[in-house]
């Protein structure tokens, strides 16, 4: 099916609820095809009436293209007074709240529909930390967010001519917008570098500190990745990009460094040094040390003491 036909035949639940089932929709394939969509809702009728209730496990980001003040908003049956729905503002709606509206003013908005599972998929891919579950917002309020505004405005020509729109363009705008929203409203202090880059500075420090603190223990890749808010696959790739080696290679190198310190500063038996540095036994320690240094631990110690 072509992108144009896909747009014309799509039925977004929000568009259906407000009585615009044929509104243009463009679906992104990004985030494992989790259903992120752009749609433009334009209703110039006055007193359109009460919309159907929307209860979806998703968020809706609506850029107001014109001022709309005369309407009522209901969340889980409770009346919420809408505020500051001026042109150029962005409203965040949590569609899990069973939302409905009584529309009296005309309205016109470009919207980004983001299922909650898209946040989870982005976390698994490493583009945002995995622990994001909620996005901060005020029910019935709006925000002034120039980045979100401009990204949503960029989709208007695409929604007007879906048959001429590159699917890759839709995917990239969806990813850029979802990452911006997660960063700005998802209680995230700092996101990792994106698009194939390495770890963010705070992530690299955290991973290295964890490795140093657990040289003598059984530190798993899962623990390291989780501490950085990444999937194992993305963490491994990003760590290699930042350090030039895989996490297990870095850990092995730090164990050898620690062993050298102990060999130089003490007369501790080699077997005890092996265990203190996380090696299974003295034989394992000796093999690893010879591969890394080119001499056995005993010979290296003697050469240093001499």
Task: State pTM to two decimals.
Answer: 0.56
pLDDT the model gives residue 218: 77
How do 142-143 and 49-50 pair as beta strands? unpaired
> CATH fold of 249-305, please?
Arc Repressor Mutant, subunit A (1.10.10)
> CATH fold of 3-185, please?
Jelly Rolls (2.60.120)
Query: pLDDT tier at 4 (50, 70, 90 boundaries)?
Result: very low
**What is the residue-wise DSSP string for 197-232?**
----HHHHHHHHHHHHHTTTS---HHHHHHHTT--H
d(CA 266, CA 180): 53
d(CA 216, CA 212): 9
pLDDT the model gives residue 129: 54
Domains 3-185 and 249-305 share a fold: no
Q: What is the mean pLDDT of residues 124-145?
A: 70
pLDDT the model gives residue 195: 36
Domain ranges of the chain: 3-185, 201-244, 249-305
> Which residues is 101 bridged to in the sheet?
73
Residue 170 has pLDDT above 80, yes or no: yes
């Amino acid at each position: 099916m072509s992108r144009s036909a896909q747009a014309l035949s799509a039925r977004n639940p929000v568009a259906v609820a407000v009585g615009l089932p044929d509104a243009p929709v463009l679906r992104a394939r990004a985030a494992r095809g989790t259903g992120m969509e752009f749609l433009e809702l334009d209703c110039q009728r006055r007193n359109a009436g009460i919309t159907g209730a929307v209860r979806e496990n998703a968020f809706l980001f609506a850029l107001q293209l014109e001022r709309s003040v005369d309407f009522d908003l209901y969340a889980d049956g409770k009346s919420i007074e809408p505020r500051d729905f001026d042109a150029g503002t962005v409203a965040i709606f949590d569609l899990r709240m069973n939302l409905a509206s009584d529309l009296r003013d005309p309205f016109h908005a470009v919207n980004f529909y983001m299922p909650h599972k898209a946040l989870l998929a982005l976390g698994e891919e490493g583009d945002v930390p995995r622990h994001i579950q909620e996005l901060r917002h005020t029910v019935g309020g709006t925000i002034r967010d120039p980045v979100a505004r401009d990204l949503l405005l960029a989709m208007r020509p695409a929604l007007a001519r879906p048959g001429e729109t590159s699917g890759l363009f839709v995917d990239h705008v969806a990813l850029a917008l979802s990452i911006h929203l997660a960063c700005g409203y998802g209680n995230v202090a700092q996101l990792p570098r994106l698009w194939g880059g390495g770890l963010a500075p705070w992530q690299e420090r955290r991973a290295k500190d964890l490795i140093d603190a657990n040289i003598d223990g059984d530190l798993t890749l899962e623990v390291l990745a989780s501490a950085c808010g990444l999937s194992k696959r993305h963490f491994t790739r990003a760590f290699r990009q930042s350090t030039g080696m895989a996490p297990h290679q870095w850990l092995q190198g730090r164990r050898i460094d620690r062993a050298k310190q102990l060999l130089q500063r003490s007369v501790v038996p080699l077997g005890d040094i092996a265990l203190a540095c996380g090696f299974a036994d003295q034989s394992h320690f000796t093999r690893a040390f010879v591969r890394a240094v080119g001499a056995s631990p005993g010979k290296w110690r003697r050469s240093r003491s001499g």
